Structure formats: C-alpha cells, structure tokens
Chain A
Amino acid sequence: DTEVTQTPKHLVMGMTNKKSLKCEQHMGHRAMYWYKQKAKKPPELMFVYSYEKLSINESVPSRFSPECPNSSLLNLHLHALQPEDSALYLCASSQDFRYAEKETQYFGPGTRLLVL
C-alpha cells in the first residue's frame, strides 16, 4: 500500500480564519513533507519532518505552522492567510533510511485551498 491520504480535498477560508490540513500515511515512512503548488508551476517544498522532528523549513511565513503528532500524521495549521496563499497543498512521505536522497516520495492527492 503506497497511499498517502489528505483531508480535506477542498477548503475555502477567509483571511481571519484558522484551519488545519491533515495528512496520513501507514507505510512506516519516517520522513513527511509539505509542498505548495501554484497553477502551472512545480511543487515548492515548505517543510520536511524526519523522525517527527522538523528538519527543513524553507523560510515559510509563520502563518503556516506544521505539526507532526506521530510518525503517521502530519498537520499544517493555517492562520491569517492571504489570497496569494491559494494553491494546491501536497503532502508526501518517504522512508528516510541511510540513503535518503535516493528514496521515492509518495504524494497524497492534495488539498485545494482558496483564500478569500
């Protein structure tokens, strides 16, 4: 089973709202990722968690707050977003063994976010 699930599929929020995106995998992977993808652009890395610790934060604004409660779950908390934050938010996971750079990342279906 190479499935990564994400909820919700679609989200519309106002600039003053607080919402959360959720991601789950049961493949025993120990690295999990958040990406942001705008239309006709490649995915842009936001955060990486390795063994439930934040290992990479690509200078993402603080209105995005990641959380990794356990090895299977990854959340992205959203607060005071701007309309330009509207995008497809993708979660991915990989095994994170010794040669991590050779590992395949498996993507979830994404959450399409619209900020009004």
Chain B
Amino acid sequence: QKEVEQNSGPLSVPEGAIASLNCTYSDRVSQSFFWYRQYSGKSPELIMSIYSNGDKEDGRFTAQLNKASQYVSLLIRDSQPSDSATYLCAVGGFTGGGNKLTFGTGTQLKVEL
C-alpha cells in the first residue's frame, strides 16, 4: 500500500516570503509526482508535475525531487494571499489502465498580509 505523507499545517508565511511544502512517499519505485492546489470548496488544480531528480521551475513555483530520499517539495516564491489554499502532493502509479494517484492529506498554506 503506497503512502504519501504531508504536514497538515497550517503553514503560515508573510506575503512576499518563500513557502516550502514537503512530501514523503513510501514506494521506492514511484516515477511520477504531482502538486495540486485546492481552494476551499473547489476542485484540485495542477500546479506542477515532476519525474526526474532535481528542480523544475515554473514561474514562482519550483518542484524538487529526491528519489533516493523519497522526498518531493514545492517552493512558492513571493507568496501572495491568493496562494492561500491546501496543497496536495500526489504520487502516480500505473495499474493497467489510467494513472492511479495516491494523495497525501494536504498542507494548508496561509499567506498573511
């Protein structure tokens, strides 16, 4: 049984600071990792996907993957109040049809003015 762990938070950061969100996973052979953002009452929205060790940057967001440590992180630079949401880490898995995502419990981020 795959497990994906995140600190539930809330993680509070001041506006303009860097928010760092962390995730660990249990299945050593996992190959794909996703960060979704979910505003209260809304559906998850993809922020980043990452498949290779190292960093991947997209605007203010940087995903970092370390497969040896089974660790994925998401950095949000210049945090804005609109970034306040729950961030879900998900690990992909192929089971013969589709991508079976295993989600962490999510980290609630609060960006304060």
Binding site for B on A (CB under 8 A): 31-33, 41-43, 45, 48-51, 53, 55-56, 88, 90, 94, 96, 99-110
Are B49 and A105 in touch, CB under 8 angstroms? Answer: no
Distance in Å: Cβ of A107 to nearest Cβ of chain B: 4
The DSSP consensus for interface residues of chain B is loop
Count residues of chain B with CB under 8 A from any CB of chain A. Answer: 26
**How distant is A18 from chain B, measured CB to nearest CB, in Å?**
25
B interface list, Cβ under 8 A from A: 31-32, 34, 36, 42-46, 49, 51, 88, 92-101, 103-106
B31 partner, pick from A33, A94, A102, beta carbons under 8 A: A102
State in angstroms the CA–CA spacing of A103 and B92 once bound together: 8
Q: Which residue of chain A has the shortest Cβ distance to B6 in the bound complex?
A: A42
Beta-carbon nearest neighbor of A98 in chain B: B94
